[in-house]
Amino acid sequence: MKCEVISIGDELLIGQTINTNASWIGEQINILGFTISHCLVISDLKNDIINALDQAYKRSDIIIITGGLGPTNDDITKHTLTEYFNTYLELDIEIEKNIIDYFTNRNLPILQSNRDQALIPKSCQVLPNSRGSASGMWFEKNGVVFISLPGVPYEMKGIMNDHVFSRLLALKGDENIIINKTIRTHGMGESFLAEVIKSWEKKLANENIKLAYLPSPGIVKLRLSIIGKDRKSSEEKLNSYILKLKKLIPEQIYGYDTDTMEGVVSNLLKEKKHTLSTAESCTGGNISKMITSISGSSSFFNGSVVTYTNKSKSQLLDVNDQVIEKHGAVSQQVVEQMAKNVRLKFDSDYGISTSGIAGPTGGTADKPVGTVWIAVASEEKVISKKLNLGYNRERNIHVSSLSVLNLLRLELIKN
């Protein structure tokens, strides 16, 4: 079935807001097994909206419209749809009650324009919005479905999850089901990974499983999509292939679907009741920032020292001056001392550290930009590793952070 997305709003056209709604809807709809053929952005202008609906109606089965459902005068989507479907607005008592509750619970005054959001086109089915006052609407015209949703991403996603996905799957009727699973890997480039898993990949085709490589800095995601008649047996088949993959690249797979490296490491630390502190040079606080972005991280994260100068490495982390002098700040000796000492300073179970040349300047023939040392220290031992990254500062910081967290992850699952 063919699907298209129409996003309404000037702020999208002039680049004030990036159209993440269309990307998110496209991704989800694709996962459900629909084909997305067009995504259009237009103004809040009646004629442009009607022309876009006409065009979409001619070529698609499902049309998802976002935006223009707010309470102000420039929001005209609902009125335009009412006219387009030759219907009229009627007060929906239940929606009105929800809107009044929504505002009362938040101690906000209710304006007439908010109450008017309970006026719903007679011919549509309401898709209730538990996160705001603009209802979603589901229209049908000669078998073509039009779904109108608010433009606020949080509200749009709520209605999609609560009501739209299940209805779309039902629409597909007796067609096959599709199950997707994303495997997240770190530590092997796309082409190298492809080489290592070649024979495994070859077998997928016979099983109606599709594989997509989705590379981003430091991460290659492998998305598997299985097409089958029955959910349970398809899931079992998919899982058996994931198990086989795990044997091929045991150190690289750090999570699935929406997992993040910092989330996976945090869960392991919580589970094993271990604490962590970090000593960062070239990553400049990025690792600490990643970990503390997780709510509740204070239960296992003691803190960090960012030592951006040689002096601070010795003053704050007791790294031996002579060792810095002899081997340089970007060296195995220094990064290991940093990890050991930051563990002791914060009384943590684990200490991790980074020292490198993030670039774009600061490289030498001996240690070019992108040379990074990382280390993980526990009570028993210190392990360290040298990375040879590229010339992009932001990317080097990001990949170094992922790498040392992965090194820690591998230690945590061993113990």
Stretch that binds its own copies, among 23-31, 63-71, 148-156, 185-193 (CB under 8 A): 23-31
Site stretch for its own copies (CB under 8 A), options 31-39, 171-179, 190-198, 383-391 = 31-39
Could you say which of 284, 328, 363, 368 contacts its own copies (CB under 8 A)?
Answer: 284
Smallest gap from Cβ 250 to its own copies, in A, equals: 27
Contacting its own copies within 332-371 (CB under 8 A): 345-347, 358-362
236 burial level (CB within 10 Å; 0-12, 13-18, 19+): exposed
Residue whose CB is less far from its own copies, 51 or 415: 51
Among 20, 176, 233, 415, binds its own copies (CB under 8 A): 20
Which of 78, 163, 186, 393 lies at the binding interface for its own copies (CB under 8 A)? 393
Q: Residues 26, 128, 217, 363: which binds its own copies (CB under 8 A)?
A: 26
Looking at the Cβ atoms of 75 and 262, the one nearer to its own copies is 262
| Integer angstrom CA distances of residue 284 from 149, 280, 318, 389, 396 | 42, 6, 18, 17, 11
| CA-to-CA dists, residue 82 to 7, 34, 77, 95, 263, angstroms | 18, 27, 9, 17, 46
**Nearest distance in Å: CB 277, its own copies:** 8
What's the Cα-to-Cα distance from 383 to each of 207, 386, 407, rounded to whole Å?
Answer: 41, 11, 9
Of residues 168-227, those binding its own copies (CB under 8 A): 214
Which of 311, 408, 390, 412 is closest to 353 using CA atoms? Answer: 408
Look up residue 161 and give its DSSP letter: I
Q: Identify the residue among 159, 265, 291, 382 touching its own copies (CB under 8 A).
A: 291
Nearer to its own copies (CB atom), residue 236 or residue 325:
325
Asked whether position 305 contacts its own copies by CB under 8 A, the answer is: yes
| Residue 139: φ, ψ to 5° | -110, 155
What residues from 141 to 160 belong to the interface with its own copies (CB under 8 A)? Answer: none
Under a CB-based contact definition with an 8 Å cutoff, are residues 343 and 377 in contact? yes
Which listed residue (50, 55, 89, 201) binds its own copies by CB under 8 A?
55
The answer to whether residue 109 forms part of the interface with its own copies (CB under 8 A) is: no
Radius of gyration from C-alpha coordinates of the chain:
27
Of the residues 98, 135, 252, 302, which one makes contact with its own copies according to CB under 8 A: 302
Three-class HEC string of 173-242: CCCCEEEEEEEEEECCCHHHHHHHCHHHHHHHHHHCEEEEEEEECCEEEEEEEEEECCHHHHHHHHHHHH
Instruction: Decide: is 128 part of the binding site for its own copies (CB under 8 A).
Output: no
Which single residue is written with the structure tokens 């951006």?
A: 308
Supply the DSSP symbol for 113: H
First to last CA, the chain: 49
Binding-residue pattern over the window 313 to 332 for its own copies, x denoting contact by CB under 8 A: --xx----------------
Residues that bind its own copies (CB under 8 A): 12-20, 22-28, 30, 36-43, 48, 55, 214, 277-278, 280, 283-289, 291-293, 295-298, 301-309, 311-312, 315-316, 345-347, 358-362, 393-394, 397
